[in-house]
Amino acid sequence: MPDQDATVVLVQHAAKGDQQALQRLLVLYHPRLRARLLRQMDPVMKARFDPEDILQQVYLEAFRAIASFDYRGKDSFLRWLFTILDRKLIDEHRALHADRRDVRREFKQAPPSDNQSYIDLLQRLCADTGTPSRVIRNQEALGALAACLAALPDHYRDVIRMRFLQGMPVSDVAKRLKRTSGSIHMICHRALAALRDQFEQLGVNPE
């Protein structure tokens, strides 16, 4: 059980625009948000969407909308996140069953089991630190990754999502984003460096 006083301080700092405080809150609440999401996903959605993809979209919305958050007690931030999650789930459910497609928020057709694409990305980020697999597979690390992805500039996040989470070849990413393959390689390098730096600052360290 997290320290309530410490959580309140984080919420207050996040509401004032402290990016790292917001990231820490997203890590803290990631297991509860993921559990709520899994309870509400129907079989069709579970077959098509990786839960971490939807949560990453929720966290992106949290970063964009944090200025509108109104603190109303210790559980108000979690309720606010639940509202964003529920709205996103409704939107995706409607789009899926109406067979609408939107390239900028398209998820993988057949997500790998056990969050494998996210685990692979975590292993790539932690390769230099020797973080063991047993650590990076836990929910804290997955929550930290999603929170850090949400804080990246859009072009960094898009390249990481397409190249490393969806497994698209560099040439296809370049075509999608109307860039050269060389520029995609450079953006990948810079985006991973920025993501690694945020991940380390957030304090999800090897044990």
Instruction: Give the tens place of pLDDT for each residue, 193-202.
Output: 999 888 888 7
Q: Residue 70: its pLDDT value, please?
A: 83
d(CA 200, CA 129): 10
Domain boundaries, the chain: 4-201
pLDDT digits (tens, 9 = 90+) for 117-163: 888 888 787 765 554 444 445 677 888 888 999 989 999 999 999 99
C-alpha neighbours within 13 Å on the C-beta side of residue 123: 12
The answer, as to whether pTM is greater than 0.85, is no
pLDDT digits (tens, 9 = 90+) for 22-78: 999 999 899 999 999 999 988 888 888 888 889 999 999 999 999 888 888 778 899
Q: Residue 109: its pLDDT value, please?
A: 47
Q: Pick the more confident residue, 200 or 170.
A: 170
d(CA 4, CA 91): 32
d(CA 17, CA 11): 10
Residue 187 reports pLDDT greater than 90: yes
Residue 79 reports pLDDT greater than 90: yes
